[in-house]
Amino acid sequence: MQIAPSVLAADFTKLGQEIQRVSGADYLHLDIMDGHFVPNISYGPGVVAALRPLTSLPFDVHLMLDHPLEYVPAFLKAGADLITFHVECKDPIDETLAAIHNGGAKAGLVLKPATPAEALWPWLDKIDLAMVMTVEPGFGGQSFMEPMMDKVREIKKKAPSLLVEADGGINDTTIQLCAEAGVDICVAGTGVFRAENAEEALKQLQSWGND
């Protein structure tokens, strides 16, 4: 299983050192919140750009914004390799996907828990990845929503070669459900950064195969 540790659960007083603890990861997941699309504010492109020289991990930037299109250029400049945004956002999806692709990054669409898999169908040939929220977006440390695995299965059935990422509440127990459903990439914030030994927790999560 590929793991994308979420910086949201890291110790913000020493982000540089925190990033070094997860150098064995597959991606670094960066949660961007605007206080409108979700009831929380995290950090912006300045922080992402500051972290960019500290690691060679691909940056997986998750935009929880009403208006992702406006901010795509800033996150491309900050060093994003993959930019995901919500199908429920207020900007035109085709234009936002094009802006990401024209900037040389991969693009993905994210589904909130209440949004059905079908919301992705119009965009299947235009996206590199689909991300299924397994918690309500906005905060780390919430409980994994197991019914979301049905959504993962539906997406994998419709588009077997599309990468599927799951985000929220993933730990050494719930990751088994993700592996069984066919998830390719798991985001883990609390499960990695709040573990006693982040390096070990990361390796443990990575050891889960996709069945």
- Residues in touch with Zn ion (CB under 5 A): 31, 62, 167
Q: How far is the CB of 131 from ligand DX5 (least distance, A)?
A: 9
Q: Which of 34, 60, 167, 184 is catalytic?
A: 167
Told to judge if 211 belongs to the known catalytic residues of this protein, a careful annotator would answer no
Q: How far is the CB of 62 from ligand DX5 (least distance, A)?
A: 5
| Residue of 192, 111, 120, 109 whose CA lies nearest to 145 | 111
Q: How far is the CB of 36 from Zn ion (least distance, A)?
A: 16
**Binding site partner of 109, from ligand DX5, Zn ion, none, Cβ cut-off 5-8 A by kind:** none
- Residues in touch with ligand DX5 (CB under 6 A): 6, 8-9, 29, 31, 62, 135, 137-142, 167-170, 187-191
| Residue of 114, 137, 100, 133 whose CA lies nearest to 8 | 137
Q: Which of 26, 31, 91, 184 is catalytic?
A: 31
Return the structure tokens found at 179: 């592996």
Told to judge if 167 belongs to the known catalytic residues of this protein, a careful annotator would answer yes
| Residue of 200, 149, 153 whose CA lies nearest to 170 | 149
Q: Where are the alpha helices (DSSP H) in 79-194?
A: 93-102, 148-158, 175-181, 190-193
